[in-house]
Amino acid sequence: MINVSQETERNIDYQITQQDIINWEKTHGNIQSGSFVIANTGWSRYWNDPKKFIGLDENKVRHFPGWGKEAAQYLHEKGVRGLGIDTASIDAGNNNNFDAHNIFLKANKYLVENINIGTEHSNTLPEVGATVFVLPIPIENCSEAPARIIAYT
């Protein structure tokens, strides 16, 4: 779990960078192939405030943080199996190119959005070392599904 909540307090449209990941790796070690990487943007604090969570402005542009293109590409090249985030989309709300989506979905990897990390859970999920189970509801002919996410530490 990569915590960028301080950056998102300063910039609600923050896109996680490759340098954020490299800085995280300096402290926690290299991200291993097959990993599931979650971004903790701090956005779970708006979980019960849909207007703030989606961040729609007067021009109907969404504002919330997400994975940047070079960060997604870096993780894809490291062999990361999936990306998670505590916002409504893997990509920042104002990113209409959906760069992280394109990189991971074209590689047949998975994405998990709307993870309610919450402040009450953020201290129980370690930054490295948890086993995460993503259990989607099997819905046929659908591109998305609700899922229960369980972490074992």
Structure tokens at 13: 């449209």
Give the 3-state DSSP-derived string for the chain, with helices as H, strands as E and coil as C. CEECHHHHHHCCCCEECHHHHHHHHHHHCCCCCCCEEEEECCHHHHCCCHHHHHCCCCCCCCCCCEECHHHHHHHHHCCCCEEEECCCCCCCCCCCCCHHHHHHHHCCCEEECCCCCHHHHHCCCCCCCCEEEEEECCCCCCCCCCEEEEEEC
pLDDT at residue 112, as a whole number: 95
Homologous superfamily in CATH for domain 2-128: Putative cyclase (3.50.30.50)
Q: Provide the residue count of the chain.
A: 153
The tally of CA atoms less than 13 A away on the side-chain side of residue 25 is: 14
pLDDT greater than 90 at residue 21: yes
Percent pLDDT > 90 in the chain is 71
User: Which residue in 37, 47, 34, 25 sits closest to 119, CA to CA?
Assistant: 47
Domain boundaries, the chain: 2-128
Helices 69-77 and 99-106: crossing angle, nearest 10°?
20
- Choice among 37-41, 124-128, 134-138 with the minimum mean pLDDT: 124-128
Q: What is the pTM of this model?
A: 0.91
What pLDDT does residue 120 have? 60
pLDDT 10s digits, 29-62:
999 999 999 999 999 899 899 999 999 999 999 9
Structure token digits, residue 26: 């300096």
